[in-house]
Structures are given as C-alpha cells and as structure tokens.
Amino acid sequence: MTESGAEGTQGPSPSELARIADACARFEAAWGRGERPSIEESLAAAGPEAGSILSHLLPLELSLRLGAGESPSPGEYLSRFPGSRGLVEAAFADHTTVADATAAAPPRPPTGAGTASNLLVGILALQNGFIDHVALIAAIRAWAADRSRGVGAILAAEGKLDDRQIRLLEALAEEHRRRYGDDLPRSLAAFGSLAPVMRAVEGMGDPEVEAGLTIEPESTVVDEEATTAHGAPPGDAPSAEPGSGWSASRFEVLSFHNAGMLGKVFLALDRELNRNVALKEIQERHAHHPVSREQFVLEGMVTGALEHPGIVPVYSLGAREDGSPFYAMRFIQGPSLREKLKQLHDAADAPPLADGEERPTLPRLLRHFVNACHAMAYAHSRGVLHRDLKPEHVLLGPFGETLVVDWGLAMPIRGGPGATGVPLEFPTGRDAALAQDGVVVGTLPYMSPEQALGMQGRLDGRSDVYALGAILYALLTGRAPIAGGSFATMLAQARKGEFPRPREVARQAPPALEAVCLKAMSHDPADRYATATELARDVERWLDDEPTVAYPEPLAARAGRWLRRHRTAAVAAAVALLCTTVGLAALSFQTSRANVEIRRQWKRAEDARAEAVTARDQAEAARVRVERNFRTSIELVNQYLLRIVRTDLPNVPESVLLRRNVASLATGFLEELWKQKPDDPETCRLAAVLYRELANLQRLVGRTLGPAYGRAVGLLRRAGALRPDEPRYRDLLAETLQDLASSLQVENRPAAAEPHLREAVQIVRGLRGEAPDRVDYLRTEARASNGLANNLLLTGRFDEAADLARRAVAIMTPLADSDAPGPTDALEVILYQDSLGEAELGRSRHPEAEAALGAALRRIEAALAGSPDSDDLKMLRGSARLKRAAAVAALGRADEATEDLGAAVAEFGALAERSAEMATYRELLAEALLARAEMSPPGPARADLARAEETVDALAKGQKDDPAYSGLLGRIRGRAAMLDAAGPDPGTARARLEGALSLLRSALKVNDKHPASLRAAAEFEAKLKALGAPAE
C-alpha cells in the first residue's frame, strides 16, 4: 500500500471530524456574509486540533479566494504559515491539477451528483470506522437496485448509522466533492482500502456505479514519445486493444485473448525466445488506483515465485513507459474446469464439444482436481494462501495439464497445517488493505465461513481446503454450493456454512465422494482435511477403488470391491462350490432344517453386535465433535462477544443500549449452551458473567434486573460447588454479590442489600487469607469494602462507611499509580475517593471531604485528557463537584459552591440530553438542581425546582410507587413549598408540604434511615407546625 493509502485508513475520531466540519462550515458561512475571516483566528480557538483544522481551512480559503477572482500566491501563504510548506504546496498543486486537467483533458462521462454523494457517504463511513466493507457493499447493491433511498438512508435503516453520523458524513462528502470539483473518481485516490468494494460492485452491471469507482489519470496530457492507453470509457468492457510500451522491444502483441476483474490477457510473441506467451496487463480503469496496482503486481510476483507444474510459470514482470504494470507467462490454450463440469452435467449454457472431442467424465475431471489439490499443497508449503479458488481458476491444458491461476488475492500465512517448505517472502506492505481483519474478499459461493467473516488473521491452508471441497461439490452436482439469493443472503449462508448436501442436489453423486466433499467443507477447520494433500489422497483412493477415510463403507460395498478385484478366483470358487453342493445335497437336506433356526439366531446376534460397535464408534466420534464445537462456542463468546461488551464498546460514546443488546444476545446463547452441559463449571461462569453484565447495563438505563443478578449468583454458586478447589469462582461470586446489592441500593433498599455485601467481604477476606499476594484479590477486597461503604451511607452510618472507603482508597491508589495498572484501576480510585468524600460530609468533617473530592477531581481531569469522550468520567466529575459544593459551602465559600453546582448542572444536563435513555443522568441532574435551588434566591430557585420536578416526574412515569423517585420528588416539592411559605401568602404552602411529606413517608417505609429523606421530613414537619392549623 502507498503512504497516502495508509494514512487514509487512519482518520481522525468521529468527534474530531465533527469539530473540523463545524469549523469549516463556520468559516465558509462567514465568507458568504462578506466578513472575510482569517484562518489564524480559527486556529487560535482550535487548541490541539489546530493542525488538523489548518489542513482543511487552507485549501478551503484558497478555493474561496480563487472563486472570488483573486490570484493568491504560494509565497503569501508560506509567509503566513512558514511551518506548513507541505500543506501549502499540496493545496496549490490540487488547484493547479484541476485547472490543467480542465483545460487539457476531454470530458469523461460524468458520474451524477447523486451517485457521487451516495458513494462518498458510504466510503467516508467506511474510512472512519462507522461500518465495514461488507455493510458498504450490501448498501451500494441495495441502492443500485432501488434509488428511492440513498446509501446513508439504507445504512441508517439497517442500524449501521444514526442521524448525527449521517449529517456529519454528508457534510464531509459535500466538502470532498467541492475540493475535487465533483470528480468522484479523482478523489478516490485518497482512499487506500477500496479494492474489496471495487471487486464486489464490478459485476453488478451498473455502469454509473462502476464509473464512480473507476480512477483515471489526473491528466491525459502526455509526452509525444511515450504511449499510453487510457481511452476506455468507465464501465465499458475492457478494451481489446493492448497498451503500448513493449511492442518496440521484447513483446509483440498478436491478439486479444481474455479479460477478468483486474487484468486483460493478450497472445504475444516473445521476440527474444521466439515463442508465444500470454501477456497480462492491468485494465485501464484500475491502473491508477494504488491498491489495484499493488494487487496486480502481487499476483505476478507470487505466481512467478511458485515453481510447480500446476502453477503457470511467469517469464518476466515489468512496466510500460507510463508505469502501468504487466507480466508475461506461459500461454495456456484450454478450457477451465467450470466449462468442463458444465459439459459433464449437460448444463444449458455448456460450451459445445469440439470436433472429435470426447465428453468429459467424472473420473477424468477428478484427476484434474487431484492435480489442483497438489498445486495448492505446494503453495501452502511455501506459506501462500490463494483465497479465490473456484472452477474458473483451474485451467485444463490440451496435453493433460492442470494449472491453478489468478493469484491476485494471495496472502502470506505463517505456520499451520501443510506449511513445511521455505516460506515465500511477500514484499512488505503489499496488499495490506486486503489482509485486514473485517475485509471480505473472494467468491462467496466457494468461500470458507472464516473467510466470509473477514477473519483474515486466522486463515490458514484449511480455508483453501474448504474452497477445494466446494469445487468438488460443483463437480458432483453441476452447481456451486451456494447459489441464488441476494448478496446479504449469500453472505449469511457462507458465514454459517449452509448448503444442501451434494446427493440432495444430484442423487447420482457417489456417497463416498459426498462424504469427502462434506469433510473438506466442514464448518470447523479442525474437522476438515488438515492439508490439500490429504484431500487429494482421499479422492485418489476413490479413483483407485479403495475405501476413503471420510466414508465408512457398508459390508455390501466392501464385498463388491473384493469381488471386482478377485473375479477369476471368485468364479472358480463358485464352480467348485456348485459341484460340492450337488454331491452333498442329500445329506445337507437332512440337517439344514435343524440348522436354519440356529443360523438365523446367530446372524441376528452378529448383526446386533456389529451395529452396536458401529453405533458406539459413531457415538464416540459425535461426542468428540460435540465437545469440540461446545468448547469453540464457549471460546467465541469469551473472546468476541464478551470482549465487545466489556472492552470495545465502552470506549464508544452513547453505546449503552448497544452494549445491552450485545450482552443480551450473548446471554441467550450461553443459556442454551448451559442447558446442554449444566455441570460444566466454565459454562456456568461465562453465563454468569454475561447475566451480570446484562443486569449492570439494564440498571444504567433505569431498569433494575434482580432476576438476572440472581441467576448470575446461582450459576456461580453452582460452579463453586462443582469445583471447590477453584478460587476464581468465589472471587467472581463476591463481585457479582456487590452488583446485586447495588441494584437494591438503586431501589432504596439498603437493608436488603447489606447481607449480600457482608457475604462478599467475608468471601474476599477468605481468599486474601489463602493467597495474600494475589493482586486481583486485593482489587476485589477494595470493591467489596467500597460497596459496603456506599450501602452504609444510605442508612446514615457515616463513621463505618468512612473507614471502609478509606481502606478501599488505600488498597487501590498504589495499584492505579503503578507502572502496570489494571484497566479499571484509575476509575476505581476515583469512585472510592468520591465515596470517602460523601462519608466525611456526613460526619460534618468538611475539610477532609473537600480534600477527598478534590483528589478525585484531579484524577478525573487527568483521565479525561486521554479519553475526552468518556461519559462515565464526565458523570463522575459532575458527582464530585456536586458533593464538593456542599463541603465548601459549609466552610463559608459560597462563590465556589455556586460555581461547582453550576458546573454539575451543566455536566448532567449535557449527559441527559445526549443519552436520554440513561435514568442515572436525569436523576443526578435533579439532585444537582435541588442542591443549587437550596443556595439560590427565590426566583432562580423556583426555576431550578420546576426543572427538577419535571425531570423526576418523567422518570417516575409508570413507576409511581418507586421509593427511589418518591423520596427525591418529595424533597423537591417540599423545597418549593418552603419558598411559598416565605412568600406573601404562606397559607398556600400547607397543601404542598403535606403532599411532599406523604412522598417522603412512602420512601421512608422502605428505608427508614435514609439521611436526606429524614432531614427533609423533619424540616418540612417543623414548618408545617409553624404554619398552624388551616383557617376555617
């Protein structure tokens, strides 16, 4: 891949893109108003993103000035931005190229503005990591079939993009089009990973889409002494005319032969050796895309480096005068295996047989197939994977040759079955765009499941073995394993390895060959033939009338084979037996009746024994296969779904609902696995982990899920009982008990939560006693201590809570500040310092509270510098400021308290607006508004209380009896009534105070020691008493 291509795959983050697009939009709008803003002013306000913004604003300003008739010079910009020479030269070069091309080049058939916008939106979504190649290809195909919706709308309907991302991508696409003068193909040179997309859409038959993805040279002005061939219109069939640049030297083109996706082939004369060769050059529409060029050159280099009778030899690799690559190879005048299998099965589109040509037979074609397997075994031994095996890529020569061709998607593999030779060294960086995980390349009907999943890093020779099995399938049935349906349907079938058995399609297929085919195409690579050589040997066994490894033959088949091999002996034995039988007939007649019943019973017993042995062997094989599949499924959940939920998605803003959905999917999957093996402790553990993760995410969006926590706890208790010697099950049980307790705390039920927390502390202290140096047990102890501290805060036991929180901070701080901290250590220290600050507030030790909360805030700011989009850190910052405001207010620093409260309200308000489904954010917003109202004059206080009441009312809708909300709502309404009581008509406050006290009493029935509710109730009852009885 070229440097520009590499940079193109590492774009800025979505939040940075949004800020860059916003800066460009403001700049252009100001120009439109005639204000003439300067780039320097925008950079001064940009902070650390100034460099990225300059790279966009500089060409934008240059374009605007040129459009206004000005003539800016590079020198002027170099004086303004002396450290950005590269940006200045690139900007002027872009405009010069556009101007030159406009003046010198004949107009190419334009791609419509709608096509340009649609393709750009999808491509930019791919480049910025919003979607993968598969989603983009499917969306382009759907849009080409029905243009009533754009690519962006299709991706949104499938849940791939949201409205905010679409607006951002449309703005970036508009800027891209403006920069490149609406010439989409020219702009594609900036992207380096479009080869899979281009290969997938070329066969759609949509000239406008293909034209949009065709990259042509920036200018057709060439040196008169050099000859180039770039005249083919986009979307047309490949030109049958060769490019020039070699005809005057070694090769003379004689005629056009054939064309594929990437290249076209000519019959040529090699003048140096006086022999005919095949000359392959890259097609004009791909010649100027860097990834396509690299792919073409790689094909020639790999084919030339693999020296085997089954691989076409390459004689030379070079480039024409204009730089377009070509290579010369042996010319094969013969059909492909696809053409011959069509003739074998009398397909409607089969090519006619030549004069005197015999109709192909299955054994003849199978010998060609065996030769192709041996060629692939050699390639695998050199560490080369083909990735695009199919009948079209196996050529049959006129003298019995079999040649595997089209190595354009080849990639290196290291190790694995069959990798026994000296590995072929691939040039560094070649074709890296097609070897990335997530990229799907190849031909779907012949593609292995792991290749269809884009798991490029896990491919080995067994992926090609699957494709060879698919070719064998086509030989047996006359069709590909996956045939018909939409792209998405075929991709889903390829990923699952779903296809009809060969004998369901063609009953005449030999059962043994069907078994060989199915073994080669097993969904699990471990169940396939380990190498292509093993596959070839099993097919050769069938051709030699030997039993195959894949097919356990019945007795009749084995007997038939013995008779075929010993025909003379069998006939002689039959004659002798006949004579003997005639001589003994009389004697046998007398005894046969008595023996008939004995033989019948003996045969039944023998058949039953044989069937039992066969059933036992099959059951054992099935048990081993099920066990392997079971373990693979467990590993899949552990390595992928759980990692996505716990590691990948938390770094994506606003991903809570997506995390919950993935966790729910994985939990259901593991529940089914657990039912299969309820006594497997590891399955219990993984299922418990996902139940716990699902419940945690449900709690974040305001839906407590006690049953899920209870299920997790039950599974972990079962795992611990099955393996009492395994401490990690007890460690995880302690953590899960804490989460269960947290859900009860959210429901204002600390009394119900406390036994779970005490049990967790007891478990972890036992673990610490068994292994005092285990760091993971230290972390669990800190979490359990802090969890119990938080529970005690809800019941006003501040002294014990402070001791426990302080213990948690003391354990976790050295771990978080070490050279190798855990992934959550820094966040946990902040949580424990926040708990300690709240406990010191409850003890009225305000300086200590301020110190703990200030330390938490400093850590939060440091963490946000590395993760500026983390909603979790922003929520913790708002919480710490809310609590610190109470501490500094008690110390007489009202201004600082007001500032902290304002910041907390703004923080929670932004979080609640961005993630409306998050109940936690809205509840914290209401607490912050209430706290600010208590310190504000009546006017602002009433506004804050009204907003807080509206927020909690929305939370409590449908949950009128929820004690967590009734207590908060009672405090808000009571505070508003206190303002009424201080007003000119205090009598109106009585009814509101009584209503507030009713809500508080409802909350105190659940937790009669809640500090905030107790304080508010006492204050409101005193005020109600002071107001006296209502007037008659």
Encode pLDDT of 516-565 as tens digits.
999 999 999 999 999 999 999 999 999 988 899 988 876 555 555 555 55
Which tokens belong to 568?
A: 């003379």
Rank 243-257, 393-407, 666-680 by mean pLDDT and report only the highest. 393-407
Residue carrying the six token digits 């004995």:
598
Which tokens belong to 34?
A: 């005639």
Residue 668: per-residue pLDDT? 60
Gap between the Cα atoms of 883 and 914, Å rounded: 23
Q: Which residue has the higher pLDDT, 388 or 231?
A: 388
Residue 570: pLDDT over 50: no
Q: Cβ(1000)–Cβ(973) under 8 Å?
A: no
For residue range 580-616, list pLDDT tens digits in order.
Answer: 444 444 444 444 554 565 566 666 666 666 776 676 6
Nearest CA to 814 among 789, 852, 782?
782
Least confident of 450-459, 645-654, 880-889: 645-654
Gap between the Cα atoms of 936 and 944, Å rounded: 9
Gap between the Cα atoms of 764 and 737, Å rounded: 11
Gap between the Cα atoms of 60 and 31, Å rounded: 11
Q: Which residue has the higher pLDDT, 648 or 42?
A: 42
**876 three-state secondary structure:** helix
Q: Which residue has the higher pLDDT, 346 or 24?
A: 346
When pLDDT is averaged across residues 57-74 and rounded to a whole number, the result is 80
Residue 812: pLDDT over 70: yes
Residue 572: per-residue pLDDT? 47
Tell me the CB-side half-sphere exposure of residue 194, using CA atoms within 13 A. Answer: 30
Residue 596: per-residue pLDDT? 61
Which residues have C-beta within 8 Å of that of residue 544, sequence separation ≥ 6? none
Least confident of 430-439, 479-488, 863-872, 874-883: 430-439
Q: Cβ(235)–Cβ(207) under 8 Å?
A: yes
Residue 756: per-residue pLDDT? 93
The four Cα atoms 111, 297, 392, 242 give a dihedral, to 10 degrees, of 70
Gap between the Cα atoms of 296 and 300, Å rounded: 7
Rank 169-183, 256-270, 691-705, 748-762 by mean pLDDT and report only the highest. 748-762
For residue range 453-489, list pLDDT tens digits in order.
Answer: 888 888 999 999 999 999 999 999 999 999 888 777 8
Residue 942: per-residue pLDDT? 93
Which residues have C-beta within 8 Å of that of residue 154, sequence separation ≥ 6? 139, 142, 143
Least confident of 56-70, 540-554, 754-768, 990-1004: 56-70
Rounded to a whole number of angstroms, the CA Rg of the chain reads: 38
When pLDDT is averaged across residues 871-898 and rounded to a whole number, the result is 94
For residue range 33-45, list pLDDT tens digits in order.
Answer: 777 888 888 887 7
Q: Cβ(137)–Cβ(200) under 8 Å?
A: yes
Residue 802: pLDDT over 60: yes
**DSSP codes of every residue in 381-433:** HTTEE-S---GGGEEE-TTS-EEE---TT-EE--SSTT--SPPP-PPTTTTGG
Its CATH architecture, for the domain 356-552, is Orthogonal Bundle (1.10)
When pLDDT is averaged across residues 5-25 and rounded to a whole number, the result is 53
Residue 413: pLDDT over 80: yes
Nearest CA to 925 among 944, 899, 898, 943?
944
Residue 210: per-residue pLDDT? 56
Residue carrying the six token digits 């108003």:
33
Q: What is the DSSP letter of 481?
A: S
pTM check: above 0.75: no
User: Which phi and psi (to 5°) does residue 55 adopt?
Assistant: -65, -20
**127 three-state secondary structure:** helix
CA angle 737, 740, 742 (to 5 degrees): 110
Which tokens belong to 271?
A: 């003048």
At position 998, the amino acid (one-letter code) is: S
Rank 73-77, 300-304, 483-487, 526-530 by mean pLDDT and report only the highest. 526-530
pLDDT band at 996 (very low <50, low <70, confident <90, very high): very high
Residue carrying the six token digits 């989409």:
184
For residue range 695-733, list pLDDT tens digits in order.
Answer: 776 665 555 445 778 888 988 998 888 888 889 889 899
**459 three-state secondary structure:** coil
Nearest CA to 671 among 694, 650, 648?
694
**Per-domain residue ranges of the chain:** 3-189, 356-552, 553-583, 946-1027
Q: What is the DSSP letter of 892?
A: T
Average of per-residue pLDDT values in the chain: 78
Q: Cβ(698)–Cβ(729) under 8 Å?
A: no
Residue 295: per-residue pLDDT? 79
Residue 892: per-residue pLDDT? 94
Q: What is the DSSP letter of 105?
A: S
Residue 235: pLDDT over 90: no
pLDDT band at 652 (very low <50, low <70, confident <90, very high): very low
Inter-CA distances, 201 with 136, 143, 424, Å: 10, 12, 31
Residue 969: pLDDT over 60: yes
Percent of all residues in the chain with a pLDDT value above 90, rounded to a whole number? 35
How crowded is residue 935: how many other Cβ atoms within 10 Å of its Cβ?
Answer: 16
Nearest CA to 713 among 696, 724, 729, 697?
729
Residue 748: per-residue pLDDT? 75
pLDDT band at 104 (very low <50, low <70, confident <90, very high): very low
